[in-house]
Structure 1
Amino acid sequence: MDQLLHLDRTLDELDPPHWAAPAADATGLVRKVHELRRVPLGALEPADLRTLISQQVALLYVLPLAVRLLLEEPLLDAYFYEGDLMLATVNAPASAWTLFPDLGTRLRAAITALPETDVARLPRGAAEDLARFVTRPETLR
């Protein structure tokens, strides 16, 4: 989790190039992502991490932060519903996880330890997303 050493720095500093201001007609989501790139990593909230991961922005830096939270509280309600950060995280591209095999292993263990009743309360399709992440072939981990 070397990326956790840079909690005082922003994604614009760590993940070049620096992003220009969004276009005047940019959507709220685009504006939000641009804004989040200027926030120090240590100040990013769970909802911010969910947004960045869902938009596949700077996964090298945000995935370790999300996993750190998820290992403590796997079904953390970041913004929309219980488990939303977990689902965004497991749906990150397989290529991003190749950078963090140890984090992927630890997250798989946390998912496997979830009670079935907790998984059953997640939105439709969530159990399949979790299972797909847990059983992903080794070559894609």
Structure 2
Amino acid sequence: MENRVDMQKSLEQLEGFEWPAPPADTTGLVKAAHNLRKRPIGSLNAHELGRLIGQDIGLPWLLPIALNVLRETVADQRLTGFYDDDLLTAVLTRKSNVWRSHPQLAADLKEIIPLLEDTSPYIQENIQEFLTQAET
């Protein structure tokens, strides 16, 4: 995984291929994913990152960005009580092979987890599952 990625490029540009247009009767999520793949990755917000990551789209490029967003917003949780659980859940619930393929990203996530406070029981379950998978 490359640390220096051109944030002005889209996933289509980074991956080197365009997806065919989705069928007209497809779901909103599929349409959104197709559209988000065309946008510069540096312009994606936490919600959009979570949508793509949750569908295992563009992980080599998007996971590092998502981890930066999570790291940068930990202080917001302490100040406002709000944290982007959707993005955190999308990141935590990737399959173990993703973390085995990218051990530095797993290590980065392990550094972020102890900084979180007052996470919901659902997030705690996801954290435990991630930590178990990351150890195997």
TM-based fold match above 0.5? yes
Unaligned 5+ segments in structure 1 are none
Partner of 2:30: 30
Secondary structure class of the residue paired with 2:69: helix
Rounded to whole Å, the distance in 2 between the matches of 1:42 and 1:26 is: 27
Write the deviation string for residues 97-121 of structure 1: whole angstroms up to 9, x where unpaired. 2232122112112112323xx11xx
Unaligned 5+ segments in structure 2 are 78-82
Residues 76, 83 of structure 1: 8 Å contact kept: no
The residue type paired with residue 54 of structure 2 is: S
Partner of 1:111: 113
Residues 35/76 of structure 1: CA separation in 2 closer, same or farther (3 Å cut): farther
Residues 21, 34 of structure 1: 8 Å contact kept: yes
RMSD of Structure 2 on Structure 1 (CA): 2.2
Partner of 1:130: 127
Aligned residue pairs total 131
Residues 46, 85 of structure 1: 8 Å contact kept: yes
Range with bigger deviation, 66-75 or 28-37: 66-75
Rounded to whole Å, the distance in 2 between the matches of 1:71 and 1:135 is: 21
Residues 28/4 of structure 1: CA separation in 2 closer, same or farther (3 Å cut): farther
Rounded to whole Å, the distance in 2 between the matches of 1:72 and 1:91 is: 20
Q: Percent identity, please.
A: 34
Q: Runs in 1 of length 4+ with deviation above 6 angstroms?
A: none
Offset of residue 54 of structure 1? 0.7
Residues 47, 87 of structure 2: 8 Å contact kept: yes
Rounded to whole Å, the distance in 2 between the matches of 1:3 and 1:21 is: 30
Q: Normalization by structure 1: what TM-score?
A: 0.81
Higher helix share: 2
Q: Normalization by structure 2: what TM-score?
A: 0.84
Offset of residue 84 of structure 1? 1.4
Offset of residue 28 of structure 1? 0.8
Offset of residue 137 of structure 1? 4.7
1:2 equivalent to 2:12? Answer no
Rounded to whole Å, the distance in 1 between the matches of 2:4 and 2:130 is: 23
Partner of 2:94: 92
